[in-house]
Each structure stands twice: as structure tokens, then as C-alpha cells.
Chains A and B, each alone.
Chain A
């Protein structure tokens, strides 16, 4: 696995819009950005409505994923090209889902919507229809998903990477600062977790730093290559960004995303918390 297998540049994306065998997909929580203008031919996935279970706190199951992708006209042999806002947080989250459900060819557009907009590249408001498919998902690959009990059991033994901002890590604030700060969970972090914010892996325009810079970042922070790793944030999308960096760009083995993240951990009764 190398950078070219998992990431495309905005230039490449612009040159290949509409190419056969590609499915461009914008992923966001707030899809008003898509509605105001999207990459030509791109379909949208709404992170909340499409990718989350409507009742329980979990994401769509295998059948739900199959129905969703079929309705969006995405076929098993399509190469899925993902991008989105928030520095590709939700696109990285979707990337992780596609991998979890066994989709082979999926890539992110480096820099996502932000770089696209900053470069003043063209956006389209045309409605996109792709003919429905019969998408078949694999059983979920739980080697890339961590659950709460594994996180608690990993304290002091695995690389626990808290990718939130330093002020969330310390408990000074409880959510990213674009959101109101009234939250039910306690502030702080999982004991022995290292704070390596997702933002350190990205440039200001939303693109990922170079492989050399990324390797140095985690080395300098004391990442132990001899241990398995679990990344978490608040709800699992920023840690998908870091999961992508560690597992897909740097090719580190045994990296899991804990999508329950701080909203779950910080609400558990009796677990240890450090501030």
C-alpha cells in the first residue's frame, strides 16, 4: 500500500471527472455544501442520515450499506473517489467504512473540498443520477474497528492515540470549538493515551503532509511500532483521518479506529480518566 493507492490529487480528480469506472462521492454531515455546488458527477452521502443507524448509536449494518450504495449507483468494481469538508474528516470516516465492508478500490482526494475551493476549481449544481446497482458488501472487518472494552484493556499496553485538540485532551473544552460546549460526558482522556492531534498530519489547505513528515511526526511523539494501535477522538471521524494516515499512508499494521470515542468513553461509569 502506498500513497498513490489511496490518495489522488485535486488535479488528477479534475482531469478524471466523469471517467468510466470511477464513482466520485462527497461525504459530509451538513450536505448544504454539496447542494450549493459539488464536483461534477459526484453523488452525496450524508454522514448522519445515510451512514448512521437511525435509532441506535452505531453505523449502518451490512444490508444497510448494500442498499445505500446500490441506490447511489456505486458498483463493487467501481473505484470510489471520496472527498468532503472539515479537512476530509467525514470522507476519511466513509473511507474507513468502505474498507470495513470490503470495498477494494477507494481513494481520498487530497485536500478535499477545502483545497478544491481554495484553488477556485469548478463546482456543479446539476442533479446527479447514477443507475442503481446490486452492491454486495463483505462482512465487517473488525480488525480495523475497536470497541470500548478493548480500549479499557489497552490502557498501558497499546498505542492509544487521542487525536483531538490539546484543549479537548486536557478537558478544558469538551467538543471541537465550533460546537456548543454543553456535553454529558466527563472531560479528559484515556490514561496513557498520547495526544497527537489529527491536524498535525495535515497542511493548512487540508492536504496530508508528506510521508517523510508524517513518519517523523509519529516517531517524535513516541509511537511504538512494536505495539498495536487504537485511535480515537470525540465521535470517530477525526480519528478516521489519523487511522487513514497510520494504516493507509504509513502502512502501519494493526491500527484500529475506536468510533465510540470520547462521547462513549467519557460517559462510561467507573472507567479511569486522566486530566
Chain B
């Protein structure tokens, strides 16, 4: 359905030979940010998905190979990062200054 699965945790059951997983954590001031909104934007900056980070600040998307932007939004501020994803596991960090 359309609600996001629990963020973070094991990759068991996820086929990394076919799925393009983009995951990581949101950080601010030396600590992970729980409850941050992370959105995935495509190469033309269009909204593709959004999740809320886990208590450990983790997020995970299932995308496709290509260029992506991640934008974090929380009461403490905003931050963004870009990455070129390939099939398999792609890890990154979104820092909120």
C-alpha cells in the first residue's frame, strides 16, 4: 500500500540484485535526527517520495538507477544532498546545519 514501511533496520528480504535502495541517516549537531521528513527528488527536482526518519534518524527509498536529490526537513532546519544511485545499496547522509 502507500504507507512507508518502518525506516531503517535489516535489508533481509530485499533483493539487492534488482532493487535500487537509497538509505542513510539525517544528522544535526553530531547526532541523528529522529522524525525528520526526507524527500526524494528526481533529476528535474520533482517530488518522488517522502519518509519520516526512525528514532535512529534512518531513512530508506526504493528508487531506480540515476541521479537523485535528498532533502531533509525538521524543526531544527533543512539540508540536502545529491547522489548517483546504482542497482544495489546506495548509502548517504543528509546533514542539517
Q: Could you tell me which A residues sit within 8 Å of B by CB distance?
A: 28-30, 33, 47-48, 85-87, 89-90, 114, 117-120, 165-167, 172-173, 175-182, 197, 199, 204-205, 234-235, 237-238
Contact = CB atoms under 8 A, between A and B. Distances in A.
A187 to B, nearest CB: 11
B61 A178 contact: yes
Nearest to B15: A182
A120 B75 contact: yes
Interface in B25-66: 35, 37, 40, 42, 44, 46-52, 60-64
B13 to A, nearest CB: 9
B10 interface: no
Q: Determine the main DSSP class of A at the interface with B.
A: loop
Interface size grouping (class) on chain B: 20 to 34
Given A172-B64, A178-B62, A235 B48 contact: no
Contacts of B48: 165, 167, 173, 176-177
Contacts of A199: 46-47
A235 B44 CA distance: 25
B4 interface: yes
A28 B3 CA distance: 8
A204 B22 CA distance: 21
A202 to B, nearest CB: 8
Contacts, number: 91
B18 A182 contact: yes
B74 interface: yes
A257 B14 CA distance: 33
Contacts of B20: 181
Given A114-B37, A118-B74, A166 B3 contact: no
B59 to A, nearest CB: 9
Question: Can you list the 6 inter-chain pairs with the closest CB atoms, starting with the nearest?
Answer: A29-B3, A199-B47, A177-B49, A178-B4, A30-B3, A178-B49
B3 A86 contact: yes
20 contacts: A29-B2, A47-B1, A85-B52, A86-B3, A86-B50, A117-B35, A120-B75, A165-B47, A166-B46, A175-B62, A177-B22, A177-B40, A177-B49, A178-B51, A180-B19, A181-B19, A182-B15, A197-B47, A199-B47, A234-B2
A181 B64 contact: yes
